[in-house]
Amino acid sequence: MHELSVAQNIVEILNENIAHYECSSVKTVLLEIGEYSGIIPDSLKFCFDSIKSDTPFGNAELKIKNIPFRMQCNACKSETGNNFGMRICEKCGGHDTEIISGTEMKITDVEIDTL
Amino acid sequence: MSIIKIERKVLEKNDELASQNRGDLKNKNIFCVNILSSPGSGKTSIIERTIEHLKDDVKIAVIEGDVQTDIDAKRVEKYKVPVIQIVTNGGCHLDAKLVRDAMANLNFSDINFLVIENVGNLVCPAGYDLGEDCKVVILSTTEGDDKPLKYPKMFMNSEVLIINKTDLLPYVNSNIETLKTNALKINPNLTIFETSCSTGDGIDKWCNWLIDNVNK
């Protein structure tokens, strides 16, 4: 449900970063969204598409790269993360783990049509 | 076609304001908790019991977040502590800006403990830093012992878990040991308290933990 406010944040960041380009030429906004960021990618796209006509970026499409959840065990150093976010090392059963990826929510690049 | 590199966190505005909130609170030596749960798990009841227990030792203020009404603020007001109600008008979570605006109406010189009661929701509020020292998630026994596995982000991002309504355990299918095991599978560093706001069981342990942190 908070995908709408996230979409509004994306519009604000675009406004700040590419105002000096021809905004209607923004074709694609590339995002990295982690598996445990709390964002449903399809819902975010839907929300962005719903509000974009009121922005200078009416032609833009969101392209979302899903980042899988991964963690590293501090005991055996194995990298795992296939068990629904459980922080238990899948190799040694250790509970002391660090999250490496899967919580991201960022804009990485914007593709602009330069005719 | 050309590509412009941006590399910006989508919630960077929120994170900036949250760190301003955190800085202001730290400067005034105010310990701040962000209380999160589904609707009806007992957030306001825990706050009421906490004020009753701590009001002679700690100077408390409360920020209440709700989608609609000031019912919770009115409940808390009866305890003669400063309370500010945020009404989100449909918004599913509090953000750092809403809290910053509410904080502007608080007299910081009179408090050393700020409680923020978030909107009842086990999903969205987990993603928004408000500037708190720690997130406290409440899960009541009636909600089922599988919830930490089904809503992992909330438990991943919280420092404290309060298992509330323990007096109802004989009447529900939740197993408290399974609930704790599931929560620790998602976040092994969780500090866990067991409380009942009806009987008062466990409120003292939670409040002792709070006093230790307020006085740090």
Over the stretch B127-162, which tens digit does the pLDDT of each residue have? 999 999 999 999 999 999 999 999 999 999 999 999
- Are A9 and B14 inside 8 Å of each other by CB? yes
The one-letter amino acid code at B200 reads: G
pLDDT tens digit string along B157-214? 999 999 999 999 999 999 999 999 999 999 999 999 999 999 999 999 999 999 999 9
What is the pLDDT averaged over residues B81-108? 94
Per the CB < 8 Å rule, is B123 touching A37?
Answer: no
Tokens of B73: 């603020």
Read off the pLDDT of each residue in B22-46 and give the average, rounded to a whole number.
97
pLDDT (average), residues B110-116 = 96
Nearest neighbour of B152 by CB, restricted to A12, A18, A36: A36
| Residue B89 Cα, gap to closest chain A Cα (Å) | 13
**Domain A3-68+102-114 architecture:** 2-Layer Sandwich (3.30)
Which residues of chain A are within 8 Å of residue B123 when distances are taken between CB atoms?
1-2, 38
Pairing of strands A97-101, A70-73: antiparallel
| Beta carbons of B1 and A27 less than 8 Å apart | yes
Centre a 10 Å sphere on the Cβ of residue B142 and count the other Cβ atoms it contains.
16
Q: Smallest CA–CA separation between B76 and chain A, in Å? A: 28
What's the rounded Cα separation, in Å, for the pair B15 and B19?
6
Pick B4's closest partner by Cβ from A38, A39, A110.
A110
Tokens of B65: 């977040």
Average pLDDT over chain B, rounded to an integer? 96
CA quadruple B166, A38, B86, B39: dihedral positive or negative?
Answer: negative
**Tens-place pLDDT, residues A31-61:** 999 999 989 999 999 999 999 998 888 999 9
Percent of chain A with pLDDT over 90: 68
Superfamily of domain B2-214: P-loop containing nucleotide triphosphate hydrolases (3.40.50.300)
Interface contact B185-A87, CB threshold 8 A: yes
Contact (Cβ atoms closer than 8 angstroms) between residue B98 and residue B65: yes
Cα–Cα dist A44/B127, whole Å: 15
Instruction: List alpha helices for chain B, DSSP H.
Output: 12-27, 43-54, 71-77, 96-103, 147-150, 152-157, 176-186, 203-214
pLDDT at residue B184 in the model = 96
Helix axes of A3-17 and B12-27: crossing angle, nearest 10 degrees: 100
Residue type at position B52 = E
Is residue B54 pLDDT above 90, yes or no?
yes
Per-residue pLDDT at A1 exceeds 70: no
Residue B114 is predicted with a pLDDT of 98
Closest CA to B135 of B158, B112, B154, B167: B158
Q: What percent of chain B has pLDDT over 90?
A: 94
Q: Which of B10, B12, B123, B180 to mutate to test the interface with A (most CBs of A within 10 A)?
A: B10
Quick check: B90 pLDDT over 70? yes
**B127 with A17: Cβ contact below 8 A:** no
Ranges of each domain in chain B:
2-214
